[in-house]
Chain A
Amino acid sequence: MTKLAILEYPDPRLRTKAVPIDAVDDAVRRLADDMLETMYGSRGIGLAATQVDVHRRLLVCDVSPEHNRPVVLVNPELVLREDPALCEEGCLSLPGIYASVERAQRIRVRALGRDGAPFEMDAEGLGAICIQHEMDHLEGRLFVDYLSELKRQLIRRRLEKERRQRATTGERRARATVT
């Protein structure tokens, strides 16, 4: 398995709408495994193919505290959405940014599994939020799109500044002599 590079906001490729997957073959399964490894390795609970620059309708997630319940969803579709509420989210494509977004707290999703067989599953709480968050990626949507323009600009500037700092100084923090 390979750890993949994750696209970071405001990379325009994150805006690509993913296309459906015709057949769940070995290549798709390999991609799902690599995405799971990438997700676990980045302390994430969900990852969409869009974020690793593959624009096909595939997402992986695992919201279990022990990180041992991976879920693979191919061509996911929501068939039910209930109980909207605000909840805090973060995203591997927006490191260090957390904000509250309104999502359905209970969903039913229809998808193909890792074996290519169609199934339906119910999810609630964090699991429901995570699946909706990843499905947004497949549409080219990010959680910050739900925030105000002003807030989004602040986030964009902060991320660009931090990226510049990482590039020029590593993780070095400026030292100050205070005596």
Chain B
Amino acid sequence: MRTGVSARLPAARAVAGVATRGVNLDAALSEACAAADPGDAPTIRSLAYGAVRGYFRHEALLGAVCDRPARRLDPLVRALLSVACYELEDRRSPDYAIVDAAVETVRAAALGRSAGFVNAVLRRYLRERAAIDARIARDPAARHATPRWLAARLRADWPDRWESILAALDAQAPMWLRVDARRTTAARYLESLHASGLGGRLEPRVPFAVEADPPCDVARLPGFADGVASVQDLGAQCVVFPLDLRPGLRVLDACAAPGGKTALIAERQPALARLVALDVNAGRLERIQENLRRGGLTAQVLCGDASEPSGWWDGEPFDRILLDAPCSALGVIRRHPDIRLRKSPVDLEKLPLLQARLLRALWPLLAPGGRLVYATCTLVKAENHGVTADFLGSIADGDRVDPASWPGWPALGVGDARAGVQIFPGEAGADGFYYAALSKR
């Protein structure tokens, strides 16, 4: 016999790793699973993801039954409580079995002195469950497992939409595919999905996108191995519209890893004069190569810091620059729920400075008449409209390109020539993205 300790303890360790060390959940999970039984890996994964997804809802729940704030608990005990709360929400096991297992796990973690505390907290929650759940249901931030500061921030930026944004970020993300239009069409690819016993739908506004529904393992996707189809969110695929790619252009993808957008650019416009994929992180260049190789695509892959072009630029100007800037990534929380645990208000303050520095450094590389597309996967105005507006105000040779003039633009999101375009998470099934196109006189 074996007890559930062998799955719950590694799951809690992974969650605690995300909460205290800021590592991403997948990295924390591979660490935790390496020390566990391989058969437990799927259980560990689903427990850890559930605990991380609900972490801040559990914080509210624990706040109602603990006499000390949840964030002051021992990190592993706090993580174990989230694992148990997730199991109680999931209702796949009887409540008392979950509580017993949590207590057993605390003991096995040599945190025996907390066993009584964990038992008392979880039992009190079960006794008062209806009232506590009702209170949480009335509080949008708690209900959608969002930290207070983050909910306040989104509310300040989007006073009419923040609740629906929180709900969308708490929802299950769909699986979007991009098909290589040189080799097939979305409609034909959908037929091949059906022929393989899989399902899906088209998004008529983005003619090369297909949603695989229900989501499946990529290994089952027809043509995945040779790049006929790639996994890429609908919102990310929309970057080709502001880029307005044409034959003979010289294109720079300035923060390219893992290369999904580079591959998209190469696929959509095979007759570019030059395509450079740059990333500062040498370890991630291999991912760019892998994405290109799979689709039989080519690009010049360089390791370099986009904010220091002197280190890698050969002096030949670009007609298009994509700056897919490092950002707070709030728009993809539904895919990466650990972002809520890993970002802090301080990160959000620092990012616009970095983003502005990248814009300033790359602008001189753009040929007159060329276009820079500034992209993020976040919803924070200061990182999006704020950065681009400040930048345009600081230079004399730049203008915004009106989204109405972007060829093929599917009219997603809100925005205009002045502000750029914000796509909201869940809109047409996309992640949250921001795009602005700046042209050089």
Contacts and interface: CB of A to CB of B under 8 A. Distances in A.
Interface stretch (A19-27, A69-77, A89-97, A115-123): A89-97
A88 B94 CA distance: 9
B259 to A, nearest CB: 7
Contacts of B41: 96, 171
Interface stretch (B58-66, B231-239, B381-389): B231-239
Contact of B93 (A46, A47, A88, A174): A88
B1 A133 contact: yes
A100 B94 contact: yes
Nearest to B4: A98
Contacts of A174: 217-219
Contact of A95 (B37, B93, B96): B37
B369 interface: no
B174 to A, nearest CB: 12
B138 interface: no
B178 to A, nearest CB: 9
A177 B259 contact: yes
B96 A90 contact: no
Interface string B29-66: 00000001111111100000000000000000000000
Contacts of A46: 1
Contact of B261 (A89, A158, A179): A179
Interface stretch (A10-18, A28-36, A37-45): A37-45
A88 B97 contact: yes
Give chain A's interface secondary structure class.
mixed
Contacts of A107: none
A7 interface: no
Nearest to B104: A126
Nearest to A96: B39
B260 A43 contact: no
A71 B186 CA distance: 63
A87 interface: yes
Classify chain A: how many residues form its interface, as a range.
Answer: 35 or more
Contacts of A129: 1
Nearest to A179: B260
B269 interface: no
A96 B97 contact: no
Given A43-B37, A89-B3, A130-B1, A179 B100 contact: no
Contacts of A88: 3-4, 93, 97-98, 100-101
Contact of B107 (A65, A95, A169): A65
Most B CB atoms within 10 A — which of A100, A134, A169, A179? Answer: A179
A133 B3 CA distance: 11
A36 to B, nearest CB: 14
A58 interface: no
A38 B293 CA distance: 44
B113 interface: no
Contacts of A100: 93-94, 97
A171 B107 CA distance: 30
A45 B1 contact: yes
A162 B42 CA distance: 9
Contact of A61 (B1, B94, B107, B230): B1
Contacts of B40: 95-96
A88 B96 CA distance: 10
B2 interface: yes
Contact of A87 (B97, B260, B324, B335): B97
A86 B324 CA distance: 53
A143 to B, nearest CB: 8
B165 interface: no
B298 interface: no
Contacts of A5: none
A169 B263 CA distance: 26
Interface in B1-15: 1-4, 6-7
A166 interface: yes
Nearest to A8: B39
B291 interface: yes
B2 A91 contact: yes
Contacts of B97: 86-88, 100
27 contacts: A43-B36, A46-B1, A65-B107, A86-B96, A86-B97, A87-B100, A88-B98, A88-B100, A89-B1, A90-B1, A90-B7, A92-B1, A95-B39, A98-B4, A98-B43, A133-B1, A162-B42, A174-B217, A175-B218, A177-B230, A177-B258, A177-B287, A178-B232, A178-B335, A179-B236, A179-B258, A179-B260
Interface of B: 1-4, 6-7, 36-43, 93-94, 96-98, 100-101, 104, 107-108, 110, 112, 217-219, 230-233, 236, 258-261, 263, 287, 291, 324, 332, 335
Given A42-B2, A171-B38, A178-B332, 19 more contacts: A43-B2, A45-B1, A86-B96, A86-B97, A87-B97, A87-B100, A89-B2, A90-B4, A92-B1, A98-B93, A100-B93, A100-B97, A126-B104, A133-B1, A143-B1, A169-B219, A174-B217, A174-B218, A176-B231
